[in-house]
Amino acid sequence: MATIESRRKSVALALSKYFSLDPSVVPADSSDSDIKSLYLNIIAVSGHRVNHSDEVLKWVAFAEAFPVALDACFENLKRLNDELSGKAVLLGNGLNPSEADVIVYSVVHSSLINLSDTSKEKLPHVLRWMDYIQQEFVGLFEKILLKKPEFEPLVTKPVGAVEADLKSNKTEQSIKNVNKSEADSSKDKNKAEGKATGGKSTGDKEPTKGKAKPADKVAEKENEVSVSLLNIQVGLIHKAWKHPSADSLLVEEIDVGEAKVRQVVSGLAKYYSPDELMNRRVVLITNVKPGKLRDVMSEGLVLCASNEGPTIVEPLLPPEGAKIGEHISFSGIDGKPEDVLNPKKKQLEKITPHLFTDDKGVATYKGIPFMTSGGPCTSSIPRATIR
């Protein structure tokens, strides 16, 4: 069971690691202070700007008031679980934990690790959040082990095997067509010879209609549902605001390295405020057909990872090294994107079922990562669908 003193030492160590600070430079009497004073002292030593927002102070107060006794803390954990039901982290840009997350994690860790399995099952959002945060503090806190469901991607065969099967099936069909054509030709020849009374010679007969499909048409058919048809780019949201006539929608102006920014309508209002999306890097499809959503023009589709429900929706995050406007690539998959996707062909609907994050949160198409010059695109939600 943690004591007040050991809890504050945990907060001091975690904040020191979070701010890349040597713990030895933290004032020796800091652990005797309340958590708010401890936070302010460490901020002052680190040289970082103090975040005085009401949200940060709310979670500092939550940590300060969190009960030490295990039997008294469950109601507080349920409150935390409710707060996390609609977001990946308590504060921040939706991916990176904030100092509020670090402080609260440090305080509730000892209670979580001692909870019964039955009690843990009632706190799914807390456990998902905790599992994400604890990756940042390996070696500092005892790892809380979770039972995670087995995940099977939508395509269980390797991509190469799937493509080989497709080609094999189409080749077999082409051979069948050729054989059928030859059989029909033979029948026609026999009929012609049986009626040889001055009509056309067998050599003058018209060719039969059953012909094998040309190889280029077979390849074209295969490419119809390839991710290479999508023009997926790295973007930066310059501005965001509420849709004037739809509470569930937000409108964003996104820079994708073109002469003018693109206006995109997204169904993110339930999960983010406009301010939370400002200056956020995103991944978006830029060759969807432009159209109006509730009378507001949209010129792209922001790709987001989401859990079941969904209760959490989060735009994919390109790595810091990726350039604005850069095109996403997929190893081993080549092809030129369509200028504009044809809605009648339902190309997007055929591709999106194969988009998901792996168990490390890396965005993939059939298990192949979304790659940029700076590395893969990611999400804090593992084993999620991408839409």
The answer as to whether 324 is a domain residue is: yes
Number of Cβ within a 10 Å radius of residue 332:
9
H or E element, residue 347:
helix 347-351
The answer as to whether 343 is a domain residue is: yes
Instruction: Supply the pLDDT for residue 155.
Output: 44
| 18-33 pLDDT per residue, tens | 888 887 777 656 556 7
pLDDT at 310 over 50: yes
Instruction: Domain of residue 300: give its range.
Output: 227-386
Q: Does residue 113 sit in the same domain as residue 253?
A: no
Q: Does residue 122 sit in the same domain as residue 264?
A: no
Instruction: Supply the pLDDT for residue 159.
Output: 52
pLDDT at 196 over 80: no
Strands annotated E in the chain:
232-242, 250-255, 262-266, 281-285, 291-293, 296-298, 301-302, 304-306, 313-315, 355-357, 363-365, 368-369, 371-372, 375-376, 385-386
* Contact indicator for 166, 220 with CB cutoff of 8 Å: no
* CA distance readout (Å), 192 to 178, 181, 196, 207: 21, 17, 6, 13
Instruction: Supply the pLDDT for residue 272.
Output: 93
- 70: CB partners within 8 A, 6+ apart: 1, 111, 114, 115
pLDDT at 311 over 80: yes
Among 54-58, 60-64, 136-140, 159-163, name the one with the lowest average pLDDT.
159-163
* Contact indicator for 86, 122 with CB cutoff of 8 Å: no
The answer as to whether 380 is a domain residue is: yes
Q: Does residue 101 sit in the same domain as residue 237?
A: no
Region class of 281: left (phi > 0), else alpha (psi between -120 and 50), else beta: beta
Task: Count up the domains in the chain and report the number.
Answer: 2
| 345-381 pLDDT per residue, tens | 999 999 999 999 999 999 999 999 999 999 999 999 9
Helix (H, G, I), strand (E, B) or coil at 315: strand
Q: Does residue 254 sit in the same domain as residue 126?
A: no
The rounded radius of gyration (Å) of the Cα atoms in the chain is 29
CA distance 39 to 44: 9
Could you tell me the CATH number of the domain that includes residue 104? Answer: 1.20.1050.130
Taking alpha carbons only, the member of 266, 346, 276, 337 closest to residue 306 is 266
| 81-139 pLDDT per residue, tens | 888 876 777 876 555 678 888 999 999 998 888 888 888 888 888 888 888 888 778 77
Choosing from 106, 137, 168, the residue where a domain stops is 137
Percent of all residues in the chain with a pLDDT value above 90, rounded to a whole number: 40
The answer as to whether 196 is a domain residue is: no
Q: Does residue 121 sit in the same domain as residue 12?
A: yes
* Amino acid type, 49: R
Instruction: Kindly state the tokens that stand for 208.
Output: 């039969």
The answer as to whether 315 is a domain residue is: yes
224 or 331: which leads in pLDDT: 331
Could you tell me the CATH number of the domain that includes residue 261? Answer: 2.40.50.140
The answer as to whether 249 is a domain residue is: yes
Q: State phi, psi for 232 to the nearest 5 degrees.
A: -105, 125
Q: Does residue 370 sit in the same domain as residue 248?
A: yes
Q: Given pLDDT bands bounded at 50, 70 and 90, which one contains residue 254?
A: very high
310 or 221: which leads in pLDDT: 310
Q: Does residue 131 sit in the same domain as residue 234?
A: no
The answer as to whether 214 is a domain residue is: no
Residue where the block lists tokens 């999306």? 277
> What's the gap between Cα 160 and its chain centre?
23
* Contact indicator for 331, 368 with CB cutoff of 8 Å: yes
Q: Does residue 374 sit in the same domain as residue 239?
A: yes
Q: Does residue 233 sit in the same domain as residue 353?
A: yes
The answer as to whether 154 is a domain residue is: no
> What's the gap between Cα 347 and its chain centre?
20
Choosing from 137, 171, 191, the residue where a domain stops is 137
Choosing from 82, 107, 137, the residue where a domain stops is 137
Q: Does residue 110 sit in the same domain as residue 241?
A: no
Peptide bond into 343 cis (omega under 30): no
